[in-house]
Amino acid sequence: MKTLLEQMRQEIGERALDIRQVSPLALAYVGDTVFDLYVRTQLVLTKEEAPKLMHTDAVHFVKASAQAQMAKYLLDSLNEKETAVLKRGRNQKSLSVPKNALLLDYKWATGFEALLGYLYVTGQSERLYELMHRATEWFTEKENVQ
């Protein structure tokens, strides 16, 4: 059985853009959704809570300050290409910054999301899962210690 991404790639085929032509902000757009889905799925599979409480838990992970910390944590374990994608995303100019985020955190979070989007779109699902899992595990441990 094909994954959704495999089905989409087959359908789009030759019309698909070269990944180098996709803007880092577009990759971050996808990465934001991929990470949100990962976090929400983890919560559904591990907690017996009302959706409202799960949403509160999810926000803890998907907010810019948390993603910025996760990006910095992962940076030393990324390969050259992954580092370049993260940095391109981090360095992109954005037209707006969410009211509850610091500009520097928002930039790092955008880089983190661009990396996740890149891994998703290029079909590197094992690496994508590995990085999301490591980042959220580290962040959970870090938050529990403080």
Q: Any idea of the CA torsion for 22, 3, 64, 142, to the nearest 10 degrees?
A: -130
| Maximum pairwise Cα distance, the chain | 50
Contacts of 59 (CB under 8 A, 6+ apart): none
* Nearest-10 Cα torsion for 120, 22, 61, 66: 130
> Is 18 considered catalytic here?
no
Question: Exposure pattern of 58-90 as b/e (b: 16+ CB <10 Å)?
Answer: beebbebbbbbbbbeebbeebeeebbebbbbbb
- For residue 28, count other CB atoms closer than 10 A to its CB: 26
Catalytic residue among 32, 36, 57, 105: 32
Catalytic residues: 32
